[in-house]
Chain A
Amino acid sequence: MVLNGVVMVLMFCGLVFFTGGGIGILRFPDFYTRLHPAGKLDTLGSLLMMTSVAIFNLHEITLSNALTSLKIMLIVVFVFISSPTATHAIMDAGVRAGLRPWEKGMPRG
């Protein structure tokens, strides 16, 4: 029961971060500011949700279940390495294409 409670809380927190990311992509005024929620709220959201699934998977502890949970955490490690790199690559593409950053007082782009 305690385990299910922890799983539910973690999953709910992850969904809150994912929701913030999804709404932030729609609401922020320009390309550079949109990357902030897109690249990072999603990273923490997937960390929380993957951790909750890994904990739920350990409800009966066997070797194969433990290996599956380890693999899920491996995905999290990979996301934590690749997500900043992908964010930086997209931002670099924007800079080289010559997009001008939004500043206070400009209309929404």
Chain B
Amino acid sequence: MHSLFLYVGLYLCFLMVLSLYRGVAGPTVVDRLIGVNAIGSKTVVLLVLIGLLYDRIDMFVDIALAYAMLNFIAVLGASRYFQKRKGLYEEPPYK
């Protein structure tokens, strides 16, 4: 079973690279936020899988929980910060 978890973790890393494209190339700031949020939600699962691989899942679960909270607060804070910036985009405002 351990090799299965290893390959699942590698596949998750590949998916994170896909999301990273949106984070790097996204046309607006909020697009980048979406990419970062998607990477974060995959990282939580990846941390638990790493815990299984090292046989220390009781420790890695705590790290994953803390990371999930940190990711949530980071996304909330960033979106609150950027919504004050008018004109992220050159189009007329949407009514």
Direct A–B contact in the complex, CB atoms closer than 8 angstroms: yes
Residues of A participating in the B interface, judged by any CB pair closer than 8 Å: 4, 7-8, 11, 14-15, 18-19, 21-23, 25-26, 31, 34-35, 38-39, 42-43, 45-46, 49-50, 53, 56-57, 64, 67-68, 71-72, 74-75, 78-79, 82-83, 85-86, 89-90, 92-101, 109
A31-B31, A90-B79, A97-B83 known, 14 other contacts, Cβ within 8 Å: A25-B18, A56-B1, A75-B68, A78-B65, A85-B76, A89-B75, A89-B80, A90-B34, A90-B75, A92-B79, A95-B94, A99-B89, A100-B92, A101-B94
Q: Write out the residue numbers on chain A whose beta carbons fall within 8 Å of the beta carbon of B33.
A: 90, 93
- Expressed in whole angstroms, the Cα–Cα distance for A75 and B27 within the complex equals 32
Residues of B in contact (CB 8 Å), total: 51
Q: Judging by beta carbons under 8 Å apart, are A50 and B48 in contact?
A: yes
26 A/B residue pairs, CB under 8 Å, sorted by A: A4-B1, A15-B8, A15-B11, A18-B42, A21-B15, A25-B18, A25-B34, A31-B28, A31-B34, A38-B34, A42-B38, A50-B45, A53-B49, A53-B52, A56-B1, A57-B57, A82-B68, A85-B76, A86-B37, A86-B75, A89-B75, A90-B34, A93-B30, A97-B30, A99-B94, A100-B91
